[in-house]
Amino acid sequence: MDSPLISVVIPVFNGAAFLAETLANVFAQGHRPIEVIVVDDGSTDDSLAIARSWTPAPCTLHQANAGPSAARNRGIEAAEGAYVAFLDADDLWPVGRLARHLRLLQERADLDFVLGHVEVRFLASAGEGARRFGGADERLAMFLFGAGMFRRSLFARAGLLSEDLRDSEDFDWFMRAREAGASWLLEDEVALFYRRHGGNLTERLPTRKSDIFRILARANARRRARGDNRSISHDRFSDRLETLESARSEKIG
């Protein structure tokens, strides 16, 4: 098969402690050609300088702090690849993950995106906010951008991320993609090492997810607009894939 360009979008906000390791991890994936886009979301540390001094040089974009949704959107808009993957500046991918997801999408023209499992890794500095993810390292199926690869054309159908959301923005977009008729597959492999280290954005948010009720209200409003008066209840609302009401997925081994 042809080797298409993959665009990798890395949003970063004060991630200097992790960004170099993340960049090395992306370029070590082996797939070529690759376009790495680092979007600095108004960092006050050395994040932007690290990205600009890296070899091979990624594309670097800088914006005033506007949150992870806005940073990912800038990356999507700048991306030239037919396939887009995302990696937060403090997370890592297993070796060969890009090639594996690309192969699945090339073999299945009907798929819009592929997701893998998430392995949560708790670093020594992880604090109280990490407890809601469980105890020891876990392998989960979650709606996280970092665990997938997407056809760039899907964002034209489902729209970009909601920039007013600072929490659960991933899940909000995945719900809209599903409503747009996106076809997807969950592979039975780890695709993301999601690291909890005490400085995660989600750890600085209230214990009760701050945007969950807005996302739920919007989803129910879209249902009503389609003539469907059934409501998604709060107790069925989760970013864990296995608890999403009426989720459509195929598992492969």
pLDDT digit string, tens, across residues 163-189: 988 777 888 899 899 889 999 999 999
Average the pLDDT over 83-100 and give the result.
Answer: 96
pLDDT at residue number 214:
72
**For residue 216, how many other CB atoms are within 10 A of its CB?**
19
Q: Band of the pLDDT at 229, cuts 50, 70, 90? A: low
Average the pLDDT over 83-87 and give the result.
Answer: 98
Of 79-83, 114-118, 122-126, 225-229, where does mean pLDDT reach its minimum? 122-126
At CB < 8 A and 24+ separation, what contacts does 126-130 make? 126/196, 126/197, 126/198, 127/198, 127/203, 128/203, 129/196, 129/198, 129/200, 129/202, 129/203, 129/204, 129/205, 129/207, 130/196, 130/198, 130/200, 130/203
Q: Band of the pLDDT at 12, cuts 50, 70, 90? A: very high
Average the pLDDT over 231-253 and give the result.
Answer: 45
End-to-end Cα spacing for the chain: 23
Tell me the C-alpha to C-alpha distance, in Å, between residue 175 and each of 13, 18, 180, 246. 26, 30, 9, 11
Residues 6+ apart with CB under 8 A from 27: 34, 36, 56
Q: Band of the pLDDT at 209, cuts 50, 70, 90? A: low
pLDDT at residue number 230:
65
DSSP 130: G
Residues 115-156: tens digit of each pLDDT:
999 998 876 555 555 555 554 457 788 889 999 999 999 999
pLDDT at residue number 228:
66
Report helix angle 212-225 to 169-179, nearest 10. Answer: 10
Contact criterion met (CB below 8 Å) for 147 and 190:
no
CATH architecture for residues 6-252: Alpha-Beta Complex (3.90)
Across the chain, what does the average pLDDT equal?
83
Q: Which residues pair with 41 in a beta bridge?
A: 63
Average the pLDDT over 73-100 and give the result.
Answer: 97
pLDDT at residue number 129:
52
pLDDT at residue number 198:
47
Residue 42 has pLDDT above 90, yes or no: yes
Average the pLDDT over 211-239 and give the result.
Answer: 64
pLDDT at residue number 27:
97
Tell me the C-alpha to C-alpha distance, in Å, between residue 239 and each of 23, 99, 112, 144, 207. 27, 26, 19, 8, 15
Tell me the C-alpha to C-alpha distance, in Å, between residue 195 and each of 8, 149, 183. 19, 19, 28
pLDDT at residue number 143:
87
Residues 198-208: tens digit of each pLDDT:
454 555 444 44
